Structure 1
Amino acid sequence: MVSISSRDPSQGRLLLLIAVLFLSYLCVAIPLPAVPVYVTGPLGLDNVWAGLGTGMTFLTAILSRGPAGGLSDRRGAKAAVARGLLLYAAGGLVSLGAGLLQHRPVAAFLILLAGRVLLGLGESFAGVGVVAWGIGIAGPQRTGKVLSLVGAAIYGALAVGGPVGLALLDRAGFAGAMAVSAALPCLGLVAIQPMAGVAPHPHAVRPSFLSVMGRIWPHGLIVCLQGIGFAAIGAFFALYFLSRMWDHAGLGLTAFGGGFVLMRVLFGHLPDRVGGLLVATGSLAVEAAGQILVWGAHGPALALAGAFMTGLGCSMIFPSMGREVAHLVPPHLRGTALGGFTAFQDLAYGLTGPLVGFLADRAGYGGVFLVGAAAAGVGVVLSFNLRGARTAETA
């Protein structure tokens, strides 16, 4: 199981940090299913715009992961987390304005995009900061476990936030849902104030961001391919259910998150024990099978089972590759490297929305999940080849 020994004095700090991440990440999870439903429903725009509205957060995060990692390395991870939480709150407040302009869809959508940009900036600084802070607390030898806990908090928040976001949209409108999402990171800010940070590395010699990326890009590409399946579920699963007039449209992220967290809890130790590439190869195969099950489902139960299987498959890929990345660079570059590494996941989330939205308009929502299966299959091949190259190097 994913745990830190009770004899470890850092346990309380790490678990509190993970709890703050879970609470704050609800501000990302709540809008995820609500945005496409609001854009295609009350605003009357098509799926491409819904995908852009969903993906803008992650596209923004791609461009800001490098600066976020640099801030974490130079000024400390706590400073990066605090900045991220402030940006989260600002993004929620700006998005709230889009809910007040339903009668002016173009203006509402532009305001929504501005809010999603701020949320993406927050995602960069908070995400990179929490990972670097957690590794600083627990030590680099527990990188895989820390990343497993971080992912469990994020996807646990997605599992809870998906149905909560749709429920808030139904009962309080889009503005009400955004008001709730803006308040949550403020609670996180209060919680981290008394916590001790980890030492920064302000004077260490730093190579260029591009040179760091040159070391880690194959591992990042695997995470990118994995992320397409999750992005398909996050952006289009609810619309897929609604188009088929199936019940329980809000449970897609819950099923995904349940499988994701279960895998992290039971097998979070595997990357540190058997190696990240081996775990990633098997995980990507499970993800591909889950996406195929969603694509071919003839009823809601099978589709939800496919989302659950997708969560099982996606669960261990990020910590597996993150463990490999953390061991490729020295400590003073860890925040920068993990920032660049995470940007590959943002790339998947940001591009999947508008691109598969275009596909959904022409071929239906089912094809979206077939694309996710194909991407995971390519990831299996890439991770297998990386394992072969690693074996050849050590032979």
Structure 2
Amino acid sequence: MSQPHNMAMATGSHAPGSEAPGFFKMTGPIVMAVFAVYLSIGITLGALPSFIKKDLAYSSFTVGLVIGLQALATLLTRAYAGKRTDVKGAKNSKQIGVLLVLVAGVLYVAAGLLSAFHSLALAVLVLSRVIHGVAESMLVTGALAWGIGLVGHGKSGKVMTWNGIAMYAGIAIGAPLSIWLVNTSGVVSAFAVILVLALFSWMATAKLPAIALEATQVRTPFYKVIGLVAEQGMALAFSSMGFACIASFVALLFAENNWQQASLGFLCFGGFYVLTRVFFASFPDKYGGYKVALVSFIIEIAGQLLIAFAPDGITAIAGCALTGIGFSLVFPSLGVLAIKKVTPQMRGTALGAYAAFFDLSLGLAGPIAGIIAGWFNYQAIYLFGAISCLLALLLLVFKNTKA
């Protein structure tokens, strides 16, 4: 699952800082298209753990590995997606991303139909996860650059905020929706919904105009700014472990303990994440990224510990909600600190390099958490999440004190 990146890729007819008419008229279809694709990602997060564990009879480590493959594929193709958006245009990248979601959906359905052949089904799932990850990279890069080009760079923050809301709202709704679909009509029906969502995402933006490319634009090499934002990137990576643990294993945690309403864990995480962003999105700029990040880490640690030591499902759901509140402003808070290290002309590339740490975290968290679950139990995963977030807090404090 990716955050905003590679912002300075294309420009529209609006000068930087100018008012672009009809913000939601222009960007609403893009936000809906992003929501549909992240709804498909949420569906896989809700359906895959039980499918791999129970239907295909593989281990928790395999669950984490398959879940994490998508984020790893997104990470490895992030730089390519940015370059393609520069060369071919934002609309082109977004629509190609949607086509790849459609391909991934076909493969998910095929894996469901092949569930009697465990090894073959798993191989198809691995391929589908890789394609889904590439699709996410292409779609988000294209969607963000397209939205900014349509309404002007002066509203880039607003574009990022609404697309971020669409991403996590999609995951929050998609996961419980897929659990319901699997329980009522089977895993194949849940995977089939991905095909419908891909078609909707394509049609939602089909009539939006493409934006002109800036022929003289010089693209800053991706690798050069990674070192500049590494401190904030590492803090982001550590703090993202808690989110990854909820996304990959909360359903299995509830099943292991015979708790009910696992879907509420997803809903509360995503719901409180979105509400925090809606009401407090201005806090990093208003109070400073450092202060907001510290408070966010403390809240997230509390949420992870609540899940780790939860005596019942209600307590675990409350922990998911707290994690959502804490994690919501981590990316923008640390991002404010990261982009201060580069010139305005390099901010887009800096955000891309910074967000790559998020992808890396999601790619590593699943397998690590799967190993921990195999050694101990599913609740131990969230103690790992709390420790990871504590490391993020200590890293931030240490670097700030040193500075």
Contact 1:144–1:320, Cα closer than 8 Å, also in 2: no
Which of 26, 42, 51 is equivalent to 1:29?
42
In the alignment, what sits opposite 1:16? 29
Are the structure 2 counterparts of residues 123 and 302 from structure 1 closer, same or farther at C-alpha, using a change threshold of 3 Å?
Answer: same
1:30 partner SS = helix
> What TM-score, normalized to structure 2?
0.89
The 2-side partners of 1:7 and 1:203 are apart by 23
What letter matches 2:115 in structure 1?
Answer: Q
In the alignment, what sits opposite 2:225? 212
In the alignment, what sits opposite 1:3? none
Which of 88, 109, 117 is equivalent to 2:130?
117
Which of 72, 79, 95 is equivalent to 2:85?
72
What letter matches 1:265 in structure 2?
Answer: V
Which of 291, 316, 321 is equivalent to 1:278?
291
2:55 partner SS = coil
Superposition pairs of residues 1-395 of structure 1, within 5 angstroms: 8-325=21-338, 328-329=341-342, 335-388=348-401
What letter matches 2:362 in structure 1?
Answer: Y
The 2-side partners of 1:135 and 1:384 are apart by 34
After TM superposition, give the deviation of residue 250 of structure 1 in Å: 2.0
Cα-to-partner distance string for 1:225-274 (whole Å, 9 max, x where unaligned): 12100110011101000000011122221110011011011111222323
Q: Identity of paired residues, percent? A: 35
> What TM-score, normalized to structure 1?
0.91
Aligned CA-pair RMSD: 2.3
Unpaired runs of 5+ residues, structure 1, are: 1-5
After TM superposition, give the deviation of residue 141 of structure 1 in Å: 4.9
After TM superposition, give the deviation of residue 333 of structure 1 in Å: 5.2
Contact 1:25–1:157, Cα closer than 8 Å, also in 2: yes
The 2-side partners of 1:78 and 1:327 are apart by 29
Q: After superposing the two structures, state which structure 1 stretch, 23-32 or 238-247, moved more.
A: 23-32
What letter matches 2:125 in structure 1?
Answer: L
The 2-side partners of 1:367 and 1:22 are apart by 32
The 1-side partners of 2:215 and 2:344 are apart by 12
Contact 2:265–2:320, Cα closer than 8 Å, also in 1: yes
Unpaired runs of 5+ residues, structure 2, are: 1-18
Contact 1:277–1:386, Cα closer than 8 Å, also in 2: no
The 2-side partners of 1:162 and 1:242 are apart by 15
Moved beyond 6 Å, runs of 4+? none
The 2-side partners of 1:301 and 1:209 are apart by 44
After TM superposition, give the deviation of residue 72 of structure 1 in Å: 2.2
The 2-side partners of 1:280 and 1:118 are apart by 33
The 1-side partners of 2:28 and 2:394 are apart by 36
Are the structure 2 counterparts of residues 221 and 25 from structure 1 closer, same or farther at C-alpha, using a change threshold of 3 Å?
Answer: same
Are the structure 2 counterparts of residues 168 and 303 from structure 1 closer, same or farther at C-alpha, using a change threshold of 3 Å?
Answer: same
After TM superposition, give the deviation of residue 96 of structure 1 in Å: 1.2
The 2-side partners of 1:76 and 1:251 are apart by 39
Contact 2:32–2:204, Cα closer than 8 Å, also in 1: no
Contact 1:241–1:249, Cα closer than 8 Å, also in 2: yes
After TM superposition, give the deviation of residue 140 of structure 1 in Å: 4.5
The 1-side partners of 2:24 and 2:291 are apart by 28
Contact 2:42–2:175, Cα closer than 8 Å, also in 1: yes
The 2-side partners of 1:274 and 1:134 are apart by 27
Are the structure 2 counterparts of residues 148 and 214 from structure 1 closer, same or farther at C-alpha, using a change threshold of 3 Å?
Answer: same
Contact 1:255–1:308, Cα closer than 8 Å, also in 2: yes
What letter matches 1:303 in structure 2?
Answer: A
1:95 partner SS = helix
Cα-to-partner distance string for 1:136-180 (whole Å, 9 max, x where unaligned): 445545444433322211111111111111112222322221111
The 2-side partners of 1:346 and 1:149 are apart by 20
